[in-house]
Chain A
Amino acid sequence: MNIPTNYVVALSAVLFTLGVVGVLIRRNAIIAFMSVELMLNAANLAFIAFARAQQQVSGHVFVFFVIAVAAAEVAVGLALIVTIFKAKHSIDVDQVSSLKG
């Protein structure tokens, strides 16, 4: 398929920015966490685009590792959110400010 790599990287940049805005704008911890997934996904898209431009399958292998690490991160992160919700009865990110020393 003949798609210019520039266009794919531009789309990746826009999706990454939307993820950053999501983390900044939303106070619901789960939505902020989903925005982080959006950012990882945008980075993966850039990896795939450059892997094709450089003819390197290593880029695909790295995306595979990123997805595996994201799965591990989600498991622990959601467990933390559940634990915080049990203690504070809220998933507002401001609730975690009581963790500071």
Chain B
Amino acid sequence: MTPDLILFLALALLAVATAVAMLASRSAVYSALFLVLNLVTVAILYLLLNAAFIAMVQVTVYAGAIMVLFLFVIMLLGSQQAAVGPDLPWQRTVSLVLGAALVALMGYVLLAGSRGTLLTATALLEGFGSPQSVGRVLFSEYMVPFEAVSTLLLAAMVGAIVLTRDERTEGR
């Protein structure tokens, strides 16, 4: 066992544990905070996988902006009080069986497919995954999708404002 592998296994265990805690906790605020912890753990995994730029984007956009939006809405709605009906009688059993089936299927595909050369780690190029290398590809090969994404973000912003606008003040 190399130190890298031990670090990876510890982070993987933490990621799975926080994901399970997110699903199990009764309070929506605790769920959101466990998800933040999960996202930060995955960001550290990105650092281990030579993706420094993506790790920073993950922390600032996901763990920062998106989760703050989630927490803001949870606290705005006061969903602690908002009662959610009882579970359907078969819901939990069926969900766990379907989940086990899915993970078994993906595990089978992974084991069956890993005999090829695709999954062997090779020596990395100099500066792979650095902000410079990602930026060079992003602003040359993927220039048009990049502009499309900026338009999409603008559309989402307008959509959020239109959806939550108060109907009563519309006439003023």
Fill in one digit per residue for B95-133: 1 if any A CB lies within 8 Å of its CB, else 0: 110110011001100100010001111101100110001
Once A15-B16, A57-B134, A71-B66 are accepted as A-B contacts, the answer to whether A4 and B125 lie under 8 Å apart by CB is: no
The interface residues of chain A lying within 8 Å CB-to-CB of B20 are 18
The interface residues of chain A lying within 8 Å CB-to-CB of B48 are 1, 3
The interface residues of chain B lying within 8 Å CB-to-CB of A90 are 82-84
Fill in one digit per residue for A66-80: 1 if any B CB lies within 8 Å of its CB, else 0: 011111111110111
* CB pair B49 A68 closer than 8 Å: no
The interface residues of chain B lying within 8 Å CB-to-CB of A54 are 118
The interface residues of chain B lying within 8 Å CB-to-CB of A18 are 16, 19-20, 23, 99
**Nearest residue, chain A, Cβ from B45:** A45
* CB pair B84 A48 closer than 8 Å: no
Task: Please give the number of chain B residues whose Cβ is less than 8 angstroms from any Cβ of chain A in the complex.
Answer: 85
* CB pair A89 B106 closer than 8 Å: no
The interface residues of chain A lying within 8 Å CB-to-CB of B103 are 13-14, 17
Once A7-B8, A21-B99 are accepted as A-B contacts, the answer to whether A75 and B69 lie under 8 Å apart by CB is: yes
**B141 interface residue per 8 A CB criterion:** yes
Once A60-B54, A64-B54, A72-B156 are accepted as A-B contacts, the answer to whether A38 and B28 lie under 8 Å apart by CB is: no
**B22: shortest Cβ distance to chain A, in Å?**
7
**Nearest residue, chain A, Cβ from B149:** A68
* CB pair A21 B16 closer than 8 Å: no
Q: How many angstroms between the C-alpha atoms of A17 and B105 in the bound complex?
A: 11
* CB pair B163 A27 closer than 8 Å: no
**B92: shortest Cβ distance to chain A, in Å?**
6
Fill in one digit per residue for A25-63: 1 if any B CB lies within 8 Å of its CB, else 0: 111101101110110010011001101111101101101
**Nearest residue, chain A, Cβ from B136:** A57
* CB pair B16 A11 closer than 8 Å: yes
**8 nearest CB pairs, A to B:** A72-B156, A24-B95, A79-B163, A21-B99, A13-B106, A79-B160, A17-B103, A25-B95
Using A41-B38, A53-B121, A61-B142 as known contacts, list a sample of 10 further A-B pairs with CB atoms less than 8 Å apart, ordered by residue number in A: A2-B5, A3-B8, A11-B15, A22-B22, A24-B94, A30-B28, A41-B62, A68-B61, A70-B66, A75-B160
Q: 14 A-B Cβ contacts within 8 A?
A: A3-B4, A18-B16, A20-B102, A21-B95, A24-B91, A24-B95, A30-B73, A53-B121, A71-B61, A79-B160, A82-B163, A89-B82, A90-B83, A92-B84
